[in-house]
A and B are shown apart, each in its own frame.
Chain A
Amino acid sequence: MRKIVLVGNPNVGKSVIFSTLTGSRVMISNYAGTTVEYTRGELTIGEETFEVLDAPGTYSLDPSSKVEEVAASLVDKADIVVNVVDATNLERNLLLTSEVLEKDVPVIVALNMVDEAGHKGVKIDVAILSGLLGAPVVPTVAVSGEGLRKLVDSLPMAVNQNRKALSTADRWVYVGDIVKQVQEITHRHHSWLESLQDASLKPITGIPIAAAIMYVAFQIVIGLGELIAVFIEEYIFEGLYEPLLVNLSRVLGGEGFIHNILIGTLIEGEIEFEESLGVLTTGVFVEFGVVLPFLTVFYLVLGFLEDSGYLPRLAVMVDRALHRVGLHGYSIIPMVLGFGCNVPAALAARNLESRREKFIVCTLMAIAVPCMAQLAMIVGLVGRYGGAYLAVVFATLFFIWIILGLIIDRFMPGYTPSMVIEIPPYRIPSIKAQMKKLGMRVKGLVVHATPYILGGILLVNILYTSGIVEYIGVVFTPVITGVLGLPGEAVSTLLVGFLRKDVAVAMLVPLGLDARQFVIGAVVLAAYFPCVATFSVLVRELGAKDMLKSAVIMIITAFSAGFMLNILLDRIVPAPYLAAGLVLTAIILAILLGSTSDRREMKDLDSAA
Chain B
Amino acid sequence: MVVNLVEMKSGQSGVIAALQGGPGFSEKLGHIGIRRGKMVKKISSVFRRGPVTISIDNFQVAIGYGKAVRIMVEVNNDEKNSPGR
The answer, among B45, B57, B62, for a CB contact under 8 Å with A92, is B57
Known contacts A201-B44, A319-B51, A608-B22: A418-B28 contact under CB 8 Å: no
Q: Judge if B7 is at the interface, Cβ distance under 8 Å.
A: no
> Which residues of chain B have C-beta atoms less than 8 A from A89's C-beta?
33, 57-59
Nearest B-chain residue to A65, judged by Cβ: B28
Complexed CA–CA distance, A89 and B61 (Å): 13
- Identify A168's interface contact among B20, B30, B65, CB under 8 A: B30
Q: For B51, what are the chain A residues with a Cβ–Cβ distance below 8 Å?
A: 316, 319-320, 329, 418-419
CB-CB under 8 A from A203, the residues of chain B are: 44-47, 50
Chain B residues whose C-beta falls within 8 Å of the C-beta of A601 in the assembled complex:
66
B residues 42-77 with Cβ under 8 Å of A?
A: 43-47, 49-51, 53, 57-68, 70
Q: Tally of A-B residue pairs with Cβ under 8 A? A: 127
Least Cβ distance of A45 to chain B in Å?
33
Residues B18-32 near A (CB distance < 8 A)? 20-22, 24-25, 27-32
Contact B70 A609 (CB under 8 A): yes
Q: How many residues does chain B have at the interface if contact means C-beta atoms less than 8 Å apart?
A: 38
The segment out of A276-284, A420-428, A442-450, A541-549 that lies at the interface is A420-428
Given A89-B33, A92-B57, A201-B53, CB of A312 within 8 Å of CB of B20:
no
A contact residues, range: 35 or more
Interface flags, A557-576, vs B, CB<8A=1, else 0: 00000000000000000000
B32: min CB distance to chain A, Å? 6
B39 to chain A, nearest CB (A): 11
CB-defined contacts of A91 to chain B, threshold 8 Å: 33, 57
CB-CB nearest in chain A for B68: A418
Give 26 pairs: A residue, B residue, CB < 8 Å, sorted on A. Answer: A64-B31, A92-B33, A172-B35, A201-B44, A201-B62, A202-B44, A203-B44, A203-B45, A319-B46, A320-B49, A320-B50, A329-B62, A329-B64, A418-B65, A419-B63, A419-B64, A420-B61, A420-B67, A422-B60, A422-B61, A423-B59, A423-B62, A598-B65, A601-B66, A602-B66, A605-B25
B: which residues have CB within 8 A of A? 10, 20-22, 24-25, 27-35, 43-47, 49-51, 53, 57-68, 70, 85
